[in-house]
Amino acid sequence: SRRQRRDGPHRTRLSSAPDTGHNRMTDGVEPGVTGQQLRNVRLLVAYDGTDFRGFAESDGVRTVEGELRGAIERVVRRPVELVLGGRTDAGVHGWGQVVNGRLPVETDLYRLMSSINQLLRPEISVRDPAWVDDAFSARFSATSRTYRYDIWNDRSPNPLVARHAWHIGPAVDIEPMNTAAGFLLGNHDFSSFCRKPKPGPGYGEPSLQRELHHARWRRPDSSALVRFEITASSFCHQMVRSIVGTLVDVGFGRIDAAEIPAILAARDRNAAGQVAPPTGLTLWHIGFDGPRWDAAV
């Protein structure tokens, strides 16, 4: 059976050793509670999020992290804490999710990968496992995150992509959508595109200031597939889906592309457009400083 967290919904405990690197480890190895030598490992994780209640563990629901951690513990036969590179909501997918945690130094990583994939296929897959030094944190070492959003833009739905793309029948015009996306680039307060977070006890409201590096719509081939790719240092809750929904409204002519600066300035979620469904969203890549930490795609 899978252990469930007791620290509240959508909250993930960090690794048993702090991410700052101020611990007893030498050259990335530390003594565990049972006397085993532990080492920091990085895993690249892909998953179909359709039937999960998000990635991060939460009491009483099925999550990607809960299944992944349970499989790892079954293989290494000891408790494991995971650090997440990015949280994804219920129904959102992942191709380039990154996690790290501490495992016994004698662990054969490729045997571990094979065992996890046997246990969790076809919904979850681990690839490109690698030992990393103690300073690496999937969360705090990350410098960028890239998402993709797919739309199947055709009168007839496509059952082969239905779990991974938003079906929109009427044609959307991606030219004004790209014009609108250009106004979002740079450093802005994205309050108009984020679900307002609830501050913790004793804390003020967290900043929704984010720096957007890239945002572009394209048609990858001659099919009805329309793809949006967006990269930022980090994202706030529902930011990508709110941006996608608003830009689709632009593509339908419901919102003029030139209105985007005013929507940003309003800092009001009601000023923006619809929220796109989670179906088409995939966490595609997490970037890190330095080639030794940057997960392959």
Strands 83-84 and 93-104 come out as antiparallel
Q: At what angle do helices 239-251 and 174-182 cross, to 10 degrees?
A: 130
Q: Is 239 helix (H, G, I), strand (E, B) or coil?
A: helix
Catalytic residue among 19, 51, 89, 294: 89
What residues contact 55, with CB distance under 8 A and at least 6 apart?
47, 49, 63, 64, 65, 84, 86, 87, 88, 92, 94, 97
- Burial pattern 81-94, b for ≥16 Cβ within 10 A else e, equals ebbbbbbbbbbbbb
Closest CA to 46 of 238, 297, 237, 244: 297
| 256: annotated active-site residue | no
Q: How far apart are the first and last CA of the chain?
A: 32
Strand ranges (E), 28-176: 29-31, 37-47, 83-84, 93-104, 124-131, 142-153, 166-168
Alpha carbon 182 to its chain centroid, in Å, reads: 23
- Closest C-alpha to 83, from 30, 151, 160, 135: 135
CB 54 within 8 A of CB 88: yes
Q: Nearest to residue 5, comparing CAs of 76, 75, 71, 61?
A: 61
Helix H or strand E segment including 215: strand 209-218
How far is 267 from 191, CA to CA, in rounded Å? 5
CB atoms within 10 A of CB 100: 26
Catalytic residue numbers?
A: 89
